[in-house]
Every structure is written in structure tokens, then in C-alpha cells.
Amino acid sequence: MRMNWSAIAAIFLAAAVGLGAFGAHGLRAKLDAYSMSLWEKAVFYHFIHALGMLIASVLPRASAASGWACWTLAAGILIFSGSLYLLAVTGVRTLGAITPIGGLCFIAGWLLLAWHFIVGGGKI
């Protein structure tokens, strides 16, 4: 079964908007400045990489690299942004230990997208 990455990316984007609004309106009075900055960083990276997923999802299927890029960007959102969301609301600092794994997923996703363009001769 082929993943519908465009739909998944759109859901991730909707979630980013919702989580951003929740942070701005529901958490602002409950979180200290440091925790709020973590939440905002999580939303920013969530949003940017969900857009990356959307871009990768509409590329021609000539290369498996675009599919793998979506997988790794999704993993990055869940691990990087997810750990920051949890860290912001719980204050459990050990969650920060897994955040770099999500960052590595983001880097891998963008490199896989680059590979798609290299193998595809630079064509979209």
C-alpha cells in the first residue's frame, strides 16, 4: 500500500496550526518563557518540515528517495517537535535527549530530497 503523503502532510500542517494556536492562547499563561520558547520552536520546525513533506509528496514517483524523504521528515516531526512539545508542558528535561534524533531525521529527509533531484536530473 502506497502512503498518501500529501494527505498526511496536510494533516501535519493542520496540526501545526492548531498546536501553534493552542500554545498562543491556551498555554501562554501557564508556561514560563523558556517553556513557551520550546513550544514555539516545536511549532516552527513542525510547520517547516510538514511543508517539506508536502513538497516531496507531489514530486514524481520516479525515485523512492521522495517517499523516504517523507518518512524521515515525518519521523523528525514526531521525534523532534514531539519531544519539545512534551518537554515544554512537562518540564521533564530527559526528553531533550531524544530531540537530536529528530534533528538527524530532518537532515536525512532533506538529503534524501536532494538525492531525488540528483538522480532525477534536477527535474521536478
| Domain ranges within the chain, ordered by starting residue | 5-119
Does residue 86 have a pLDDT over 80? Answer: yes
Q: pLDDT confidence of 59, banded at 50, 70, 90?
A: confident
Cα–Cα distance for residue pair 65/69, rounded to 1 Å: 6
Q: Mean pLDDT throughout 103-108?
A: 98
pTM over cut 0.75: yes
Is residue 16 within 8 Å of 46, Cβ to Cβ? yes
Report the alpha-carbon angle 109-60-80, nearest 5.
20
- Give me the amino acid identity at 111: L
b (16+ CB within 10 A) / e for 81-119: bbbbbbbbeeeeeebeeebeebeebbebbbebbebbeee
**Whole-number pLDDT of residue 2:** 67
As a whole number of angstroms, the distance between CA 99 and CA 92 comes to 13
pLDDT at 94: 93
- What is the pLDDT averaged over residues 105-117? 92
Kindly report, residue by residue over 24-57, the tens digit of the pLDDT: 999 989 999 999 999 999 999 999 999 999 988 8
Residue 3 identity (one-letter amino acid): M
pLDDT at 117: 84
123 pLDDT exceeds 90? Answer: no
